């Protein structure tokens, strides 16, 4: 999507978005106050941000295989860790939101599509040490750097899977009884996003939470987000512009909320 179009989309989002005062759903209102707008500084934020700083200074070069849409910065096959970090990792604001969502919902099983250097994985795994986080990454060398980070942070509840989502996701899902939380953060194209969504949906339950990254990143992602919202199993959706959050709770009326964040 062209930069100008993205800015226009963002301005429309800002005009339409509402905070807790404009939301009439008690479920969304509570979630905004308890979690989404929670400004508490958790100790682990500092630890993970220290690691981000270390990675941002690393000139180590790793081979990256371009497996999907996702980087508008640099598609070359060898990149420095600092370049990958600046173009791929979720910013503290959104990574910490993932932490708070996991902390709030306490999912037992978390799946992440797109580990990269492991920043968002670290936040989600640290939010609930009792949960098991399975994170998939297609670039072997990038996944290796993430593994070192998980060891430094002493995160023991992460299982890494290296491979193309298209090839490894069915096998990963086969071994999972129930998916409680999924973060879709790789291969930002319409058809693959919808395919991964429907595959994960098979293992979702009423209490599952799905989070989609960059729902306005491209026209394809906007179309994918529209289809996801319209899926018959989806009830409440929250549009935070850079993230879309999906709920399946049957007691909730189907509604999309454009939330200022």
Ligand X SMILES: C[S@@+](CC[C@H](N)C(=O)[O-])C[C@H]1O[C@@H](n2cnc3c(N)ncnc32)[C@H](O)[C@@H]1O
Q: With respect to ligand X, which residue has the nearer C-beta, 19 or 91? A: 91
3-state secondary structure (DSSP) of residue 199: helix
Enumerate binding residues for ligand X (CB under 6 A): 67-68, 70, 88-90, 114, 116-117, 119-120, 136-139, 142, 164-166, 185-187
Distance CA 236, CA 238 (A): 7
- Which among 208, 253, 258, 222 has a CA at the least distance from the CA of 238? 258
152 vs 233, beta carbon nearer ligand X:
152
| Contact yes or no for 189/69 (Cβ under 8 A) | yes
Select from 176, 244, 238, 241 the least CA-distant residue to 25: 238
Q: C-beta of 172: minimal distance to ligand X in Å?
A: 11
What's the burial of 154, exposed, middle or buried (CB within 10 Å: 0-12/13-18/19+)? Answer: exposed
Other beta carbons within 10 angstroms of residue 147's beta carbon come to: 16
Give the residue with the Cβ less far from ligand X, 68 or 107: 68
- Around Cβ 117, how many Cβ atoms within 10 Å? 25
User: In the complex with ligand X, which residue's Cβ is closer, 86 or 219?
Assistant: 86
What is the nearest approach in angstroms of ligand X to the Cβ of residue 228? Answer: 18
Closest approach of ligand X to the CB of residue 48, in Å: 10
Q: In this complex, which beta carbon is closest to ligand X, that of residue 48 or of residue 234?
A: 48
* DSSP-derived pairing of the beta strands 61-63 and 78-80: antiparallel
Question: Smallest distance, Å, CB 49 to ligand X?
Answer: 13
> Which of 187/235 has CB closer to ligand X?
187
Q: Kind and range of the H or E element at 224?
A: helix 219-230
Closer by beta carbon to ligand X, 168 or else 176 = 168
Shortest distance, position 255 Cβ to ligand X, whole Å: 28
Residue 25 three-state SS: coil
Sequence-distant (6+) residues with CB within 8 A of 159 are 132, 133, 134, 135
CB of 46 to ligand X, least distance (A): 17
Q: In this structure, what is the dihedral angle of CA atoms 184, 147, 122, 189, given to the nearest 10 degrees? A: -10
CB of 154 to ligand X, least distance (A): 18
């Amino acid at each position: 999507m062209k930069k100008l179009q993205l800015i226009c989309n963002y301005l429309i989002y800002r005009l339409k978005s509402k905070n807790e005062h404009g939301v009439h759903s008690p479920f969304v209102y509570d979630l905004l106050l308890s979690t989404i707008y929670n400004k508490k500084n958790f100790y682990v934020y500092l630890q993970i941000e220290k690691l981000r700083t270390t990675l941002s200074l690393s000139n180590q070069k790793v081979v990256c295989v371009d497996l999907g849409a996702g980087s508008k910065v640099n598609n070359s096959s060898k990149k420095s860790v600092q370049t990958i970090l600046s173009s791929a990792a979720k910013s503290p604001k959104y990574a910490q939101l993932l932490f708070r969502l996991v902390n709030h919902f306490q999912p037992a099983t978390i799946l992440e599509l797109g580990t990269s250097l492991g920043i968002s994985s670290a936040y989600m795994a640290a939010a609930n040490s009792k949960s098991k986080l399975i994170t998939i990454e297609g670039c072997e060398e990038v996944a290796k750097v993430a593994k070192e980070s998980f060891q430094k942070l002493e995160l023991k509840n992460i299982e890494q899977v290296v491979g193309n989502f298209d090839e490894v996701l069915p096998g990963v899902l086969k071994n999972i009884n129930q998916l409680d939380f999924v973060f879709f953060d790789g291969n930002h194209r319409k058809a693959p996003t919808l395919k991964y969504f429907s595959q994960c949906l098979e293992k979702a339950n009423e209490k599952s939470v799905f989070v989609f990254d960059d729902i306005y990143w491209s026209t394809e992602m906007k179309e994918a987000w529209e289809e996801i919202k319209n899926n018959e199993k989806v009830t409440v959706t929250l549009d935070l512009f850079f993230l879309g959050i999906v709920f399946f709770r049957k007691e909730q009326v189907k509604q999309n909320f454009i939330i200022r964040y």
